[in-house]
Amino acid sequence: MACPTAFSFIVLSMAIIAVLGRKGGIGKSTIIGNLAGEFAAIDRSVIVLDADPQHSLAAWASQGEGMLSRSVEKVKADSTGALEAKVRKVQKAADLVLIDTPPGIPEIAYQAALVADLVLLPCGPSPLDLFSLKDALAQALKARAERRSKKPRIRFVPSRVLMSTNLGRNLSSTLEEMGKKVLPPIGLRIVVAEAVANGLTVCEYAPNSVSHAEFEALAKAVDKIVTR
């Protein structure tokens, strides 16, 4: 199913992007799956590694015959270096490798951050989301220190945002105060759940929706980072 896009992306070389979060329900899998859809729509080869033992992304992909059904691979990151070995195995076959990590297993999040060029840290508007964000940020910074590098680059993503609320409207500025750059927000919209139920990305399911425009804006921002 084709998905129109209003932007021309310029991913020039292979990049590895991981999403981390110490709390469930903040939209990690939703962000990774829909970023995959946006990049696939402009003919980038994408491999999505589902390293969460719950395998939510794989379950999503199994609901239909969209691009995720051809792109998602389960990963058993049960030992040090297992995730890195899988990334190295698949990276030559793709322009982008996207990694979804579990909320309650910091060791896997750390493995992902060690191999990633970019780490995305989603955060919802709840104070509890902000508290757990600090733990995820610590994992990403620990990996950067271990690598003695500017990588992974780290960005916050406002997620599951209701702009009709004060917490939603203020989330981006609250995240900026934590010292990392903030990417375009993703709203809490029913069309996202409908797309998942059909095994599709929002790009495929509702290409004219506000939700698609939000994920497209996020993908464009991500593209600028990984092509620097």
Q: How many domains does the structure of the chain reveal?
A: 1
Please check whether residue 218 is in contact with residue 209, taking contact to mean a CB–CB distance below 8 angstroms: no
Q: In CATH, what number is assigned to the domain containing residue 91?
A: 3.40.50.300
In a domain, 45, yes or no: yes
b/e code 47-84 from CB counts within 10 Å (16+ = b): bbbbbbeebbbbebbeebebbbeebbbebebeeeeebe
Q: Per-residue pLDDT for 9 more than 70?
A: no
In a domain, 61, yes or no: yes
**pLDDT value of position 5:** 63
**pLDDT value of position 6:** 58
CA distances in angstroms from 54 to 43, 58, 147, 203, listed in the order given: 29, 9, 29, 24
Neighbours of 6 (CB within 10 A): 9
**Between β-strands 153-158 and 72-74, what pairing exists: parallel, antiparallel or unpaired?**
unpaired
In a domain, 6, yes or no: no
* This prediction's pTM: 0.92
152-161 pLDDT tens trace: 999 999 999 9
- Distance of alpha carbon 225 from its chain centroid, rounded? 14
Q: Of all helices (H) and strands (E), which one includes residue 19? A: strand 15-19
Of 7 and 140, which is predicted with more confidence?
140
Q: Identify the CA nearest to 106 among candidates 158, 143, 151.
A: 143
**pLDDT value of position 79:** 77
92-135 pLDDT tens trace: 889 999 999 998 888 999 999 999 999 999 999 888 898 899 99
In a domain, 2, yes or no: no
Token pair listed for 117 = 């060029």
Please give the residue range of the domain that contains residue 151.
Answer: 15-226
16-38 pLDDT tens trace: 999 999 888 899 999 999 999 99
d(CA 169, CA 113): 29
